[in-house]
Amino acid sequence: MQIGFDVGGSKIAAGIVNKNKKIIAKRVIPFPQGKPYQEIVSTMVGMAKALAGDVEQTLAEIRSVGVSVPGTIDRQGERVIDAHNLGFHDVPLKEALTLHMPEMEVRIANDANAAALAELHAGAFRGCRTAVLLTLGTGVGGGLILGGKMFNGGLGHGVELGHMCLQFGGPLCTCGNLGCVETLCNAPWLIRQSSQATDAKMVIDAAKEGDVAAKNIFDRYVDQLSSAIVSCTNLLDPEVVALGGGVSLAGEFLFAPLREQVLRKSFFHHPYKIVPATLGNDAGIIGAAMLAINEAEAARI
């Protein structure tokens, strides 16, 4: 078994994941916003010890802990370079955790990578060699499975599917470029097009109920998202494309037209398997816990 941490801007969730990739113990606390990272690390160590106690094990017996962080990790997988939601900037997270838990092997990953890894071991990507995960929320994140394991970039920087260009000269992105996938496929895009909606679900629900203006917005969204997915299918010819995040909860109302458009637009006109990500809120914990296994498999390959 392994411990997985899903550290997010609103909460820290941690769990023990057994060899069947199931969470057998879980603890969640609000994220201590504004506290120095050392204090957050102490809290995490306390959670790890409590979880070990929950399953009547010691940390030395569990040995491995993984952490999913919504931000950029250095190429060595040791420091959090930037995680804006956490207020983490150049935080030596691995070193700090190892200092308090020397008996544990600590691994850190970006949250989108962890989510893709979770889907590989326990969700929509089981048995896949090549798969793409896109999370459609406030931002657009993405993770890749290549050769049957999580792919963190050839040089180890990571992959940024949300910052591929979708519209040359398009809207300004948080990264400073214009027309990134994120600017046209995130949830705020849906809200911005509407005169009344305060969240993306309102637009989607109105479109489902037949509101013409909302349906037009939603159709444009599907058009944009399908083009982003086609860039992925043309590049990788993946076995599965899974979508997570709030917008994916639109269900078949989103997936049915998306599949049809990807079939039409993709070079091979293949009916690519496009499905909802299956792990939802547990993806971070499971993916973080699976980092040790991913590393072992990478070494074996």
- Nearer to Zn ion by Cβ, of 117 and 166: the residue is 166
Tell whether residue 175 is a contact of Zn ion (CB under 5 A).
Answer: yes
Q: Which of 66, 86, 72, 94 is nearest to 157 (CA)?
A: 72
Q: Which of 239, 296, 290 is nearest to 116 (CA)?
A: 290
**Residues 116-145 interacting with Zn ion (rule: CB under 5 A):** none
Query: Closest separation between CB of residue 182 and Zn ion, Å?
Result: 5
How far is CA 263 from each of CA 33, 199, 256, 273, 276, rounded to the nearest angstrom? 44, 29, 11, 10, 17
Q: In this chain, which of 122, 133, 145, 173 binds Zn ion, going by CB under 5 A?
A: 173
In terms of Cβ atoms closer than 10 Å to its own Cβ (0-12, 13-18, 19+), residue 15 is buried
Tell whether residue 163 is a contact of Zn ion (CB under 5 A).
Answer: yes
**Residues 178-217 interacting with Zn ion (rule: CB under 5 A):** 180
Size of the site for Zn ion (CB under 5 A): 5
- Nearer to Zn ion by Cβ, of 165 and 275: the residue is 165
Span interacting with Zn ion, options 122-130, 173-181, 214-222, 272-280, rule CB under 5 A: 173-181
**Whether 204 contacts 198, CB under 8 Å:** no
Q: How many whole angstroms separate alpha carbon 109 and alpha carbon 283?
A: 13
**What DSSP string runs through 189-204?**
HHHHH-SS-SSHHHHH
Tell whether residue 21 is a contact of Zn ion (CB under 5 A).
Answer: no
Query: Closest separation between CB of residue 272 and Zn ion, Å?
Result: 24
Query: Closest separation between CB of residue 41 and Zn ion, Å?
Result: 30
Residue ranges binding Zn ion (CB under 5 A): 163, 173, 175, 177, 180
